[in-house]
Structure 1
Amino acid sequence: MVHSKSFSRASRLSAFLLYICERAIEGHTDEITEQQIGVRVFGRPAHYNPGDDNIVRGTARLLRQRLELYYQEEGAADELRITVPRGTYVPLFERATEVQEQPDAERSPLLEDAPREAPLARHTFSRLWTAVSLLAAFALGAAALLAYQHFTRSRNHPSSPAAVLWRTVFPGDKRTLIIAGDAGVDMFDNLARQQVNINEYSERAYLSSPFAQTPDDYHWAPLATRAYVSVQDLKLATALVRLPEVRNDQRVFIHYAREIRPEDLMDANAVLIGSPAFNPWVQLFDKDQDFTMSYDGVENSITVIDHHPAAGEKSSYKWIWNDPEHAYALIALTNNLNGTGKVLLVESTTTMPTGAASDLLLNPGPMEQILARATNPNGSLKRFEVLLETSLVGNSSTQPKVIAVHIHNN
């Protein structure tokens, strides 16, 4: 539906629809509230007051109208239909013949978004049984589709180490979040000459700093609050969703770092793009990494620290703003916060080396050899870290050189 003419250009409505349907299908209807939708879909802070900001209610009204239009035109032949009854944000899945208009009494604007009993509780037994049957058929069809996708993937890429990586990060049977960095917080870091830690970023505490305010005699929005993202991040995200192993996977979502909450990284798979100063969420995974990046605002430098240097490796590698000869990027595969999935980290000392890391990830060559070494006998991947060195020439980086590879057995 979100790729239809009715929704393809309505990104806000599509994001709303995907969020509520995904939570409903997974049984997390407790997360389909005005507060949660505001935070998860529209990037509102966790403490925002829905009474002062009606973005969820307004978008819900537009979504109901757009769904009606879709089923009148493009979706007229759809057997299974999605509705969002007034008074709730929990979607209802019904046969086309069972969709009925609500009584006029329930159309009162005063009741539009008031909490009420979920519509499912008012169904008759036969209607509930029909819904269960439909969902069972839907689940079987989805399982068959996933099986076919995995068969196709393994048939087309039976032994490619790169294919193993992408099937690990994008398994097809669970969510994978591609999270682009936040250039606004990076600008704040440069102004404040200090790195925002993950707690400050998660709670938006840094926005109360004087460095996050608009200068006197100016009327523009503070730089720290603006939704800026690196072009290199967008290029990598676009390339990832076009991979054969990822294309048409409806459980892959691209997010801006400021939209994410810690719980999003508990069980989902993820691709995090950016250094700790640019995408603070990578800081959550530093404790398990041999390589970490540290920003020095006074010197305007980033140091890659090797906590367990092997023979021939240095204990640290520094990038500084006036030295174009040495820039660094880091590619790492690690576990998500609950250990139930995988997270791919793509960090770099500036935005340009992100392009070099992307080239290594997406093209055969040295990365294939590294992945072959990191592959277990059963076909799964071990945790690994790859440190790259590259030189900056103008607005691009040169071919990266792999200077360290760490493969973990746990």
Structure 2
Amino acid sequence: MPFEVPPLELDPDSAWELLQRVVNSQELRRATRLRELLLYVGQRSLKSHAASIREQEIGAAVFGRPENYDTNIDNIVRVNVSELRKRLCHYFETEGAAEPVLMEIPRGGYLPVFVARPAVEVVKPVESLENPPEPHREIPAIEAKPVEVVTAKSARSGRDVGTWVLWLLGSALALALVAAAVFWWQARTLRNELQPWQADAGRAAFWGQFFASGEQMDIVTADTSYALAEDLLQRPISLDDYLDYEYKNYANMPEVTPQTRDALNLVLSRNTGSVGDFEAAEQVLALNARSPLTRLASARSYTPQAIKSHNVVLIGSRQSNPWVELYKDRLNFYVEYDPARHRSYVVNRAPLKGEQAVYEIVNDRNRDLSVVAFVPNLSAHRYALILAGTDSQGTRAAGEFITSSEGLAAIRQRLPQGSYPYFEVLLSSTRLEGTTLQTAIVAVRGYTK
């Protein structure tokens, strides 16, 4: 249903409100990737007033593709934009039928435009000459009747009627109060289902700093191909080399054997992740999944501008998520990796009395260590949360702990009272067949804001 109408100069607030209604509509509610696509191109259109946007930019930002991937081979953006056009048309024909302004993505481009809904002309029926309208008729006068005299009996009857009316009004008021209570309970239940972070005071106090701020929050998943490359090279790869894709040239270094070179080229051609890391990201995302301001991103497609401007949750240690490197010098507890021994451990930079300088799990496959760090982000005006384990199962245990009421209550008891401080927590967890059984706090650090 293309709209052959010139675009409107809609004010940004009205355009943003319309975009929000479409993104949160029944048409797109379960189409997560299409919602992310529409929100991204919509924000680009409204904030930057760009005339166009490159297909590769959308593929990298929304679908996790490399920035210079071949769009002739990979048509994921064109396929999804085509589907999004159909969804927009269907929305404005059904759920958004009353919208006075329509939004469409014109063919040949990727940025949405706003157009006025075409007016529907109402055609009046033509009166037939064979059935002319009836001639004007005089309305007969209403005969006046004498006023009834009120007697004592009729007065008593009037009082009875008044009592009956008051009883009806009281009953109606009681029913209205019951209905209001039921509506409030249903609204609260629905809110808790859509926004579980508000289900109890403990989670609301911590997660409200992210979700109630009105700011974009990015959940950045780890890139295990990056960790595998470090294993093969037996050396760390810097964040700068990762962002510039310079680490892909490591395979051509003279000291790399042909077998290692082949393995590196295979690993670096893929963008992979671990189940435990994705489960941790899913636990955080589930707290506010309906919000268009909560976005899932991969480490490989993430950008320095985003980590500076948005609230961010980094999933995984520096070994698999290089963005953690930006915060390493600020942390007391951090997960380190020994590529020669292929083993992770936790460093305690400034041990207190009774604490160890290094925590490590040796020869116990059913135990994990993990770190949860809540710190200011790089701009110091937003927040960063780091969930890192000595393996992906430890990262998952950290995600379970920080998203649960019990875990947050245990952390809050160990922190200074007052407004929520920044903190770091070292956790130890036990598991059985991949299921976390118990997680306990080993050490805590709290910092005032």
Name the TM-score, length of structure 1 as normaliser.
Answer: 0.72
Q: What does residue 114 of structure 1 align with? A: none
Counterparts of 1:366 and 1:69 in 2: how far apart (Å)? 44
Give a deviation string over 1:232-288, Cα, whole Å, max 9, x none.
233233333333xx2532211122222211111112111111111121111111121
1:359 maps to 400
Task: For residue 222 of structure 1, give the secondary structure of its aligned residue in structure 2.
Answer: helix
Q: Which residue of 2 aligns with 1:222?
A: 266
Which has the higher mean CA deviation after the structures are superposed, 231-240 or 163-172? 231-240
Q: How does 1:11-410 map to 2 (within 5 A)?
A: 12-25=33-46, 27-30=47-50, 33-34=53-54, 35-46=56-67, 56=77, 60=81, 63-72=84-93, 75-86=96-107, 88-97=109-118, 160-171=201-212, 173-210=214-251, 222-243=266-287, 246-319=288-361, 322-324=363-365, 327-365=368-406, 367-374=408-415, 377=418, 379=419, 381-391=420-430, 393-410=432-449
The residue aligned with 2:156 is none
Distance in 1, Cα, partners of 2:261 & 2:352: 54
Q: Which amino acid in the other structure matches residue 197 of structure 1?
A: S
The structure-2 alpha-carbon separation of the partners of 1:331 and 1:85, relative to structure 1 and needing over 3 Å to count, comes to same
Distance verdict in 2 for CA 1:167–1:156, change over 3 Å:
closer
**Equivalent pair of 1:333/1:344 in contact (CA under 8 Å):** yes
Greater displacement, 63-72 / 338-347: 63-72
Matches of 2:196 and 2:38, distance apart in 1:
31
Check conservation: 2:229, 2:264, Cα contact below 8 A: no
Q: 1:75 to 1:207 in 2, by over 3 A?
A: farther
- The verdict on how the C-alpha distance between 1:367 and 1:13 changes in structure 2, with shifts beyond 3 A counting, is closer
| Aligned residue number for residue 154 of structure 2 | none
Aligned AA for 1:42? F
Q: Which amino acid in 2 is paired with 1:386?
A: V
**Contact persistence 1:45–1:204 (CA under 8 A):** no
Contact 1:275–1:282 under 8 Å retained in 2 = yes
Change (3 A) 1:235 1:87: same
Q: Is 363-372 or 163-172 further displaced after alignment?
A: 363-372
Question: In structure 2, do the counterparts of structure 1 residues 62 and 208 end up closer, same or farther at CA, with 3 Å as the change threshold?
Answer: farther
**CA–CA distance in 2 between the matches of 1:53 and 1:89?**
16
Cα distance in structure 2, aligned partners of 1:6 and 1:214: 52
Checking the alignment, whether the CA contact within 8 Å between 2:251 and 2:264 is kept in structure 1 is no
Q: 5+ unaligned residues in a row in structure 1: which ranges? A: 100-148
SS of equivalent to 1:259: coil
Q: 1:196 to 1:394 in 2, by over 3 A?
A: farther
**Corresponding letter in the other structure for 1:22:** Q
Letter in 2 for 1:253: R
Shift of the alpha carbon at 1:406? 0.3
Offset at residue 174 of structure 1 (A): 1.2
- Cα distance in 2 for residues equivalent to 1:172 and 1:409: 19
Of 178-187 and 86-95, deviating more is 86-95
Question: 1:57 & 1:155 partners in 2: Cα distance?
Answer: 35
Alignment partners' CA distance in 2, 1:214 and 1:41: 36
Do the aligned residues in 2 keep the contact of 1:272 with 1:282 (CA within 8 Å)?
Answer: yes
Aligned residue in 2 for 1:108: none
Out of 250-259 and 90-99, give the one that drifted further.
Answer: 90-99
Instruction: Give the whole-Å Cα distance in 2 for the aligned partners of 1:213 and 1:64.
Output: 50
8 Å Cα contact 1:181-1:229 kept in structure 2: yes
How far residue 368 of structure 1 moved from its aligned partner, in angstroms, is: 0.9
SS in 2 for 1:365: helix
- The C-alpha deviation readout for 1:162-190, integer Å capped at 9, x for no partner, is 32111012225111111222222222222
CA distance in 1, matches of 2:234, 2:196: 48
Give the aligned partner of residue 127 of structure 2.
none
Alpha-carbon distance in structure 2 between the residues aligned to 1:352 and 1:51: 39
| Inter-CA distance 32–186: structure 2 relative to 1 (3 Å threshold) | farther
Question: Post-superposition shift, 1:9?
Answer: 7.0
User: How much has 1:388 moved relative to structure 2?
Assistant: 1.0
Distance (Å, rounded) in 1 between the aligned partners of 2:297 and 2:261? 34
Task: Report what 1:110 is aligned to.
Answer: none
2:424 alignment partner AA: E
In structure 2, the gaps of 5 or more residues are 1-21, 121-190
SS of the equivalent of 1:68 reads helix
Residues 107-159 of structure 1 deviation map (CA, whole Å, 9 limit, x = unaligned): xxxxxxxxxxxxxxxxxxxxxxxxxxxxxxxxxxxxxxxxxx89x9899667x
In structure 1, distance between residues paired with 2:90 and 2:387? 41
Q: 1:157 to 1:47 in 2, by over 3 A?
A: closer
Greater mean deviation of Cα atoms: 311-320 or 4-13:
4-13
Residue identity matched to 2:286: R
Partner of 2:180: none
The separation in 2 between residues aligned to 1:376 and 1:89, in whole angstroms, is 50
Q: Which amino acid aligns with 1:346?
A: L
What is the letter of the counterpart of residue 404 of structure 1? A
CA distance in 2, matches of 1:265, 1:210: 29
Shift of 1:39: 2.8
Secondary structure of residue in 2 paired with 1:255? strand
Percent identity, aligned pairs only?
Answer: 27
The structure-2 alpha-carbon separation of the partners of 1:225 and 1:11, relative to structure 1 and needing over 3 Å to count, comes to farther
Alpha-carbon RMSD across the aligned residues, in angstroms, is 3.9
- In the TM superposition, residue 331 of structure 1 has moved relative to its aligned partner by 0.6
